């Protein structure tokens, strides 16, 4: 029974880290348009192996994929912005990317609080 408590405590600690990473991603999205999301990205890459076999692993994967897809759409918007015709479209792409990442962070945060894995 004591070992179960230790495992539960370890899992709770891993869950808490994922929770803080969601918050950091969210703060970065709000205050820097995601420019500082590379910090929680690195932490997710480093800590994800420690969560193998738990639902928290899927949350690290979710955060990592959310980051890279967001970067892709920001780059697409940047390419569009480089053309005169694409400037309004670039802003639209960036706005949709921002809303999409916010949605993914909120969805993941809620699932993590409910102890549910994310689809990967």
Q: DSSP string spanning 37-89?
A: THHHHHHHHHHGGGGTTSHHHHHHHHHHHHHHHHHHHHHHHHHHHTSTTTHHH
* Residue 98 domain boundaries: 55-114
Dihedral over alpha carbons 66, 71, 72, 73 (to 10 degrees): 90
Q: What is the pLDDT of residue 86?
A: 86
Q: What is the end-to-end Cα distance of the chain in Å, rounded?
A: 32
Q: Is residue 11 in some structural domain?
A: no
Q: How many domains does the chain divide into?
A: 1
Q: Is residue 24 in some structural domain?
A: no
pLDDT tens, per residue, the chain with 120 residues = 444 555 589 999 999 999 999 999 999 999 999 999 999 999 999 999 999 999 999 999 999 999 999 999 999 999 999 987 789 999 999 999 999 999 999 999 999 999 999 997
pTM of the model: 0.90
Q: Is residue 27 in some structural domain?
A: no
């Amino acid at each position: 029974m004591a070992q179960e408590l230790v495992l539960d405590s370890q899992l709770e600690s891993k869950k808490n880290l994922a929770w803080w990473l969601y918050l950091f991603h969210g703060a970065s999205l709000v205050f820097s348009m995601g420019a500082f999301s590379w910090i929680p990205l690195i932490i997710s890459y480093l800590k994800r192996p420690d969560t193998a076999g738990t639902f928290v692993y899927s949350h690290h994967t979710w955060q990592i994929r959310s980051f890279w897809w967001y970067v892709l759409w920001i780059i697409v918007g940047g390419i569009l912005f480089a053309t005169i015709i694409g400037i309004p479209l670039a802003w639209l792409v960036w706005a949709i990317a921002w809303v999409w990442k916010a949605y993914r962070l909120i969805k993941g945060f809620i699932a993590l609080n409910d102890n549910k894995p994310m689809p990967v």
